[in-house]
Structure 1
Amino acid sequence: MPGLARRTRTEAEGTPLPGGHRREAATGAHPPAGPLYSGSGREPYFDNAKYLALVLVACAHGWEPYLAEHRTVLALYDLVYTFHMPVFVVVSGYFSRNIALRPWELHRLVAGLLLPYLFFEVLYAHFRRWAAHDPSYPVNVIDPQFLDWFLLALFLWRLSAPVWRIVRRPLPVAVGIAVLASVTPGIGPDLDLQRVLQFLPFFVLGTLLRPAHFDRLRGRRVRAAAVAVAAAASAAAYWAAPRLDHAWLYHRDSAQALGASTATGVAAALALLGCSAVLTGCFLAWVPRRRTWYTGLGAATLYGYLLHGFLVKGAAARGWYEPAWLGTPAGMVLVTAAAALAVTALCTPPVRRLVRPLVEPRAAWLLRDPASPEEGPLSAQPRTVGP
């Protein structure tokens, strides 16, 4: 199709994985008993999913300097970018489905998403001044930088959560909004609204899911089908790698900005939504449900997500990607392992204790305590705002 020719632009942007989650404690609802839930009050399944997806995000960012050199690396990059963001958006929507914008929920949205967004916007702007040797680089909180955009997107999606409960057919409506956004070039970079709207269907899908839906993914036939689909998708990604402009996978531009017609943009948006949904299901079908050594790390993926951007950009600024041997197969294995280990380390307790004031700030200096006799004290609710 015209306009889908591959371009060389890359983007080291991943997906946020904000906060922890308890058994619907943030909304006061009580989930049904079933294999999805553990006695600890947290779902190991979702923590496992977030950690594994975060590792893929970090690895994809580590591969970016080599996309033009290795077709296999480019294919893996495209494959990961097809589903890693939808995974996090679906999970975020699932844990947002009962949000009613009560005062304590609004308090948590501001403290858990908006404040960290503002803090890291300032940090990344100053970091970019250092990395690019540009002391005049501005702080612009209206135009999200690098990894921060998902915090703002999740803030906006969660504000919209009550609306989707009163819409008769929320998922088709959300798909329609996403497709229209993808062919509306007038939507500029402010608030990253292109991505907010183009990824909206996955958030709405998450609000419609129930524990039984995730349980069905564990069926033997579904898991077997997931392997076959993933294998076919890998082959398709390898074929498409030199032909497809992977900027389509970022969902930050309109079709016209990518050189496509409106008709092509509509078709591409629907195709990408379908492919992403299928691969998201394949990924979730194979996520372990038992507690693993990395389950605890999955509860703190927001730390790894926000902080690994400094490592990625810092490594590029320092020229660490330049040695030619890193472009060999053995070098790529090393780059992948280093990315996985680094992002894992950033989720560990020592790092979390060090940067908690920025990632999980206390907001008493800014926000009033929203406690009421009906809702109980704020301290009775979990502090974290996330999937």
Structure 2
Amino acid sequence: MLRAPASYRGWVPTRDHRLDRAKGILIFTVVLGHLLARTSPWDDDVLRAPMYLIYSFHMPAFVFLAGITAKSTRLPERVLTFLVLLFTVLPLLWGWMWVFDLNPDYDLLTPFWYTWFLLSMACWIITVPFIERFPRTLLVTSVVVGLFGGILPVLDMELSASRSMIFWPFFVIGKLYGKQILDWAGSLHIWQKLFFTAAAFGSVGYFYLDEVYYKWFYGSLNFAHFDVSIPEGIGIRLIVDIGALLMTLMLLMWVGDKDTIIAKIGRNSLAVYVLHGFVVRGLQPWLRDIEDVLNAPMIFLLCLVLALLATYLLSWGPFERGLRWYSSTVTRLLLKPFASLRAKPGKHSDKASS
């Protein structure tokens, strides 16, 4: 049975290339999925298969990995970093889409497209101290919220509320048990890995053959939008989550631990995530027209090459360093007026220990 250590649960003391490699693979699937999404893939039997494969797990797995490395130290800085990126990317992305004569679907209360993750990360990080203090309570709470949150009619795409609730259990599990799960997955025998791999692909096959409505994987809508009863909605949500867990386990089983180009991409995955939207939307008019010229297998091959190229180029070190420098600098400036309100190191610790 997996148990959260009493001290600093989920902490990873040194750089773990397995995490980097997993992030590298996942950020590539994000780019590939968003490129394919510009070509109406859900209406084609060929393109729908990789879309089910990608969307069945890539964001839950990303959230799980984020939980592993989440810390409660310097909490205001960590939260503000994601908010700074969110409020910087949104207007730039709206302007970028205006240049290409695309509809940005402007709404102040709804983070546009992939920027929901930045807001949700800020929300999940706020919960880290509570996860560390009340691990079992927060684990149960997150699972209940994730499964039953779709009942609430007032929480949907606004403020990324639905996604924050639905994917929160993956963050909590990653924080409490992620390192142990990572070690366990890597230590399995080959026949065990093959068994879980078959189960993972079996779940994706079920989604594909049963034509499960793809928006269930987005986690952005409540049950009312799917026109299902509450028991049915909870059941579908549970099946989708189990599929995501199986696929995440499969990734961790085979990811390997060598420090290769995949690991380097994973280390710079924040830059790839933030910047790839501009590449994808810039290519959107062209990808939309390419459907009339190429068949589905060729479209997939083209998007695959474009995703590989975009992921590699956007993982260039200066992009990541520049993005982190910018977000940390703005964060420091925002927090500077409140510096006097923050306790100085050692000032109160002596009283507490006396």
Q: Shorter chain as normaliser: what TM range?
A: 0.7 to 0.9
Q: 1:257 to 1:207 in 2, by over 3 A?
A: same
Q: 1:139 to 1:130 in 2, by over 3 A?
A: farther
Q: 1:129 aligns with which of 98, 119, 130?
A: 98
Distance 2:60 2:172 in 1: 11
Q: 1:167 to 1:127 in 2, by over 3 A?
A: same
Residue 187 of structure 1 aligns to a residue whose secondary structure is coil
Q: 1:48 aligns with which of 7, 18, 21?
A: 21
Distance 1:214 1:133 in 2: 42
Question: Does structure 1 retain, via aligned residues, the 8 Å contact 2:200–2:250?
Answer: yes
Q: 2:78 aligns with which of 88, 105, 108?
A: 108
Matches within 5 A, 1:129-278: 129-132=98-101, 138=106, 140=108, 142-164=109-131, 165-166=133-134, 168-209=136-177, 211-218=179-186, 219-220=188-189, 221-240=191-210, 243-278=211-246
1:199 to partner: Cα distance = 0.9
Which amino acid in the other structure matches residue 75 of structure 2?
E
Distance 1:233 1:192 in 2: 27
192-201 vs 207-216, greater mean Cα deviation: 207-216
1:167 to partner: Cα distance = 5.2
Residue 366 of structure 1 aligns to a residue whose secondary structure is helix
Distance 1:367 1:260 in 2: 45
Q: 1:360 to 1:305 in 2, by over 3 A?
A: farther
Distance 1:177 1:139 in 2: 26
Question: Does structure 2 retain, via aligned residues, the 8 Å contact 1:125–1:138?
Answer: yes
Residue 308 of structure 2 aligns to a residue whose secondary structure is helix
Distance 2:173 2:150 in 1: 19
Q: 1:133 to 1:157 in 2, by over 3 A?
A: closer
198-207 vs 184-193, greater mean Cα deviation: 184-193
Alignment match, 1:91 = 65
Which amino acid in the other structure matches residue 289 of structure 2?
E
1:320 to partner: Cα distance = 3.5
Which amino acid in the other structure matches residue 154 of structure 1?
M
Residue 98 of structure 2 aligns to a residue whose secondary structure is helix
Question: Does structure 2 retain, via aligned residues, the 8 Å contact 1:116–1:361?
Answer: no
1:75 to partner: Cα distance = 2.0
Query: What are structure 1's unaligned runs of at least 5 residues?
Result: 1-27, 376-387
1:120 aligns with 2:89: yes
1:354 to partner: Cα distance = 5.8
% identical aligned pairs: 23
1:294 aligns with 2:256: no
Alignment match, 1:75 = 49
- Choose between structure 1 and 2: higher helix proportion: 2
Residue 148 of structure 1 aligns to a residue whose secondary structure is helix
Q: 1:373 aligns with which of 335, 345, 354?
A: 345
1:191-241: CA deviation from partner (whole Å, max 9, x where unpaired): 11011011111111112115333111011243222332233234324313x
Q: 1:208 to 1:334 in 2, by over 3 A?
A: same
Distance 2:318 2:136 in 1: 47
Q: 1:274 to 1:315 in 2, by over 3 A?
A: same
Question: Does structure 1 retain, via aligned residues, the 8 Å contact 2:21–2:257?
Answer: yes
1:47-92: CA deviation from partner (whole Å, max 9, x where unpaired): 1110100111111112221414531321221121111011111111
Question: Does structure 2 retain, via aligned residues, the 8 Å contact 1:71–1:238?
Answer: no
Which amino acid in the other structure matches residue 209 of structure 1?
Y
Residue 234 of structure 2 aligns to a residue whose secondary structure is helix
Question: Does structure 2 retain, via aligned residues, the 8 Å contact 1:115–1:361?
Answer: no
TM-score by structure 1 length?
Answer: 0.78
Which amino acid in the other structure matches residue 150 of structure 1?
F
Alignment match, 1:378 = none
Distance 1:215 1:201 in 2: 20
1:356 to partner: Cα distance = 5.2
124-133 vs 334-343, greater mean Cα deviation: 124-133
Q: For this pair of structures, how many residues does the alignment match? A: 332
1:59 aligns with 2:32: yes
Question: Does structure 2 retain, via aligned residues, the 8 Å contact 1:230–1:279?
Answer: yes
Q: 1:328 to 1:277 in 2, by over 3 A?
A: closer
Question: Does structure 1 retain, via aligned residues, the 8 Å contact 2:68–2:174?
Answer: yes
Query: What are structure 2's unaligned runs of at least 5 residues?
Result: 1-6, 348-354
Distance 1:89 1:170 in 2: 16
1:319 to partner: Cα distance = 2.7
Which amino acid in the other structure matches residue 144 of structure 1?
P
Distance 1:167 1:51 in 2: 29
Residue 90 of structure 2 aligns to a residue whose secondary structure is helix
Q: 1:232 to 1:31 in 2, by over 3 A?
A: closer
Distance 2:268 2:201 in 1: 30
Question: Does structure 1 retain, via aligned residues, the 8 Å contact 2:67–2:171?
Answer: yes
